[in-house]
Structure 1
Amino acid sequence: MLLSLNRKRVSGVSQMITQINHFLVFFPVSNEKTSIMQKQNAFFIPVRVRSFCSSRLTHQPKVSLAESTQPPASLVASRVSRLARTEAQEVLFDYLHSTRSLGYMDAEHISKNSPDFVLNLLSKIDSGKDVTRSLTRFLRYNPINEFEPFFESLGLSQSELSPLLPRHLMFLSDDEVLLDNFHVLCDYGIPRSKMGKMYVEATEIFRHDRGVLASKLWAYENLGLSKNTVIKLVSCCPSLLIGGVDSRFVKVLEKLKELGFKNDWIGRYLSGKGSYNWDQVSETLDFLYKIGYNEVQLLNLFKTNPALVFEGSGQKVYVLFGRLLKLGLKMNEVYSLFSQNPQILSSKFVKNLLQAVGFLIEIGMGMKDISNMVLMHAELMGSCSLKGPKTVCSKLKVGRESLCQIIKDDPLKLFHLASKTEVKIDEQVDCQNPSKDVEKTEFLLRLGYVENSEEVTKALKQFRGRGDQLQERFDCLVQAGLDSNVVRNIVKRAPMVLNQSKDVLEKKIDYLKNYLCYPLESVVAFPAYLCYDMGRINHRCKMYVWLRERGVAKPTLSLSTILACSDAKFEKYFVDVHPEGPAMWESLKKSSNSS
């Protein structure tokens, strides 16, 4: 009967078979008893028919989400029950696996992770009736463009699909190269949800010849990276899999190695939200060396603030450097500022410093005075969070111009009046007494300052207290065990050290040596320890010692690592690392508040 339909047009056995297959695709036999195969599998199509379909795509009706004129998926979703969607997913899975012969895992992932495509399919039928039967029948007569649910299942949105769809292909099995490379990535362990981003950013990696992609992945393992790190690395930087091993990335890896980081350290901080410019990361590391950071300082800096390297590929460093120059600081002054305050690049420090600069601008202080404030008091400006000018003026009952003059006359008033937390700085504000200036000048000359120099003028404003008090505090550090020349260098690098009273200095040194069991030389690398509030020191160090006793923390972390990081970072690295950490942290805070 079937042969009689086209007997006049068919010549030869092969043409006859082609016509029969074509007929079966579009006009399947309705009597289920005449076909056992159809009864078992409603999607059964002979192999020869599939090849015929592949060669005649332009003549077939197809379901295309990218070109659909149906209502938006959000509107369809509101009208479709969860049960209907689940049934549609099962029908799509059966179609892809049984009819189109896709692997079980591929068909399952596509059907469960292409919700927009599934909703679009449901919009073609009456979802209030038997979804399984209706959709099965619909797909029997309407082959779908399989690339649409495939790409959606890889994490791409509907708006991204159209330019990615092959022009002359509809079935995934027709693009063997794409599927081969896709399976290499799957077998290696790269999440399918990350592959959409990889495809958009580096389509070339899905066109590699057989065996090439796997060899590229192994090449990065041969650099000493673990498999997990390679997975994170290529997921966020798929361009690394184009060409040979990326020399720019290797350069960054080598520099981090020189600082003492293990190869896999980099994997902990990579984010899939953006790509990385490895040239810029390398230049950032070189830049920090150039402005005076040594290897120990960089190691501590990156341990407490790894975002410096990875967020924006190091751009934050250049932004801060540029802002300081814009304030009027000279290049060598900025270099010196970075060198003397390694923690200047921590997120909290930058935030507080820029907030203080904004405060001074808002009350009308000139750029020259602000730059002098930054040079002389960067440590305090970065350590204190300030109230707003309006709040301070209201409390003092003065205008902004008056507040500006108060701070210009005594820069440390900024921290006394505006700081949200108590700042313990010696309150010797009587700078009008010439005899006190003479005593202080004599002390500065003994430190090595040049008489009548601009340096002395600045230092007179930096050091608080009488000359004999400053000498007493200096001697306190020497008597504690530090060489006098070392103390001179400390004082020149961090003048605010001598703005602490002798009792406070002795208390902090005793705490360092007898509670933390740290050598006194620790303050040489981080003199700012002596400037932090005793409450902060006690609070954080007790938490650190508690972790150390349980073997969670290293025996002798640098003081800057413990004290200079933000509260959020401290809780992440010193509280949340132990199951009982949060409870202990709360206990310490309560005991601190009650004492």
Structure 2
Amino acid sequence: MPPTMPLSRSLLLLTFLSRRSFSSSPTRTLPVIKGNNYVSGTIYKTRALVQAQKALTDYLHSTRGLPFIFADQIAANSLFSLSNLIRKIHFSAFTFSDAFQTLLRYHPINEFEFFLESIGINHDEVPFFLPKNKFFFSEDSNVLDASLALIQYGFPWNKLGVLYKEEVSIFSLSANELTERLNGFKEWFGFDNNLCVVGVCLAFPYLLSREGELGSDLDAVFGNLKRVFVDFDMRNCVEGNVDAWYEVCCKVRVLYDLDCEKGKVGELMCRRKELFLECPKEVLVRKVGYFGEFGFGKEALGLFLLHNPEILNLDIETRVISVLGLLKHFGMDTKELRCVSRKYPYVLGRNRMENLPGVMKALDLQEWCLDKIRSSNGQLLATYVIGCPDEDINKEFVDGLKSIDSSRFPNHTMNKLDFLKRIGFGENALTMKALNILCGSSSELQSRFDFLLSKGIVHSKLCLMIKTRPKILSQHPERLEQKLNFWREELGSSLQNLYKFPAFLSFDLENRTKPRYYFYVWLRKTGLYTKKYAISCMLYPSEKQFIQRLFEIHPAAPKQYLERFSYIKVYLHNCEETSLT
């Protein structure tokens, strides 16, 4: 008879074996759902998504009859839609897997929503592309047939959204039509694989959707692409994958979107093909946007980049400029520099080269700068270097930065500072002063700035107005629009006059501007006051000072103003003419 094991050792062994058995169980599921407790822990979230993906795959394949390849791809690539579906689970008597399957059984999903996210369309954009009055794939089988033809040809599943967003009509074509068109492109190129055709169609979706309607444009596009890929043997410079082909084709598309002359893009690209190959698409897009802000026309910008591809290597993100130093480098003489310093002190100091377009707009030198860049083929920008480490450093600005670092919300404040520098303000004391007054996030300030530009206010004048009255940008666009409408329609004044009196946009329209102006109009109508009274003289005085001025006009005027006009929200324009008593 074996000796008996001590009780404590027996308990330890049983505990170890039970833990080992539990941890190695291959069918482990989430605990019983109470409310929706998977949200409370990361471990629950991960396991919930895995189980939900499996359940959704089974549902789409077994219940809805989708081919397994579709069901698996949709379930694996629609995490946002799947997470939203999980949040609807509120059971207390089932495991998570059972609860999720029950949800699908009694609450069918919008299959197109999951499909669109899975093919690469951002979840926030999905609602804009959902087909109307369609819920199930059985209501539009062409979508799946077209998708199958495309992925069989070599299109990545998560790139189909590129085609869907730009040319949804592609997914109404039959599988035979798509395959025939794709093979026709392949034969036209003379390639022995599908990768290039896939890249071309992803970059130019309209070629695939309207093959028979393109005419000379189709010949021009394919002529350029054939020259790039075949005649100049660029296919040997590109890795053998779809993403690499797509990248190159996107660069060609960027230049095409600049309205470059058809037939010349391929030739010019291939003169310096190594630069275009080495330059990532995102960098090319940024450079196009950057130089476009200087005022290049679309076609002129395309040809400028094609003739001067070295400019693509220009570092605009990290390079620092001295505004006066760069102006001097561009050829401005001492007298002109003094004039700039006197007229635009808030632009002076340092800035980043990426903000140079905004700096030149703030100085009203955009055309001058564009001519310098164009005439030097971009070399003036490429050869500029800051004079010395201490050039144009402003001590008050540096002290302000230290205060921001120790403040409660440094990131928020730095984002606002980046906005000011982006529109042309430099690293100086005036910029810091404006920064401390501005209210709102960087995106809100940019939106308000763009709104005022859209109303016809010149960039340089707007910067001067902000320097004078930063509170202008602390208001919502709706309020700014009301004030601009009042300025133009009620006062009958122009933007040129607004530049002289920017403070108008910072005064309260309902409680200050309207009451005082309408009372002045009433005084003119009654003949009690015949002199012209500038709007600035009405608005600048405090309420006490304004009433004192009214008393000087007529002893009873303050009483009429306080009873009839002061602090009113809406004033009836057709007020009756009455006499003072």
Q: TM-score, normalised by structure 1?
A: 0.42
Query: Which is higher, the Rg of structure 1 or of structure 2?
Result: 1
Q: TM-score, normalised by structure 2?
A: 0.42
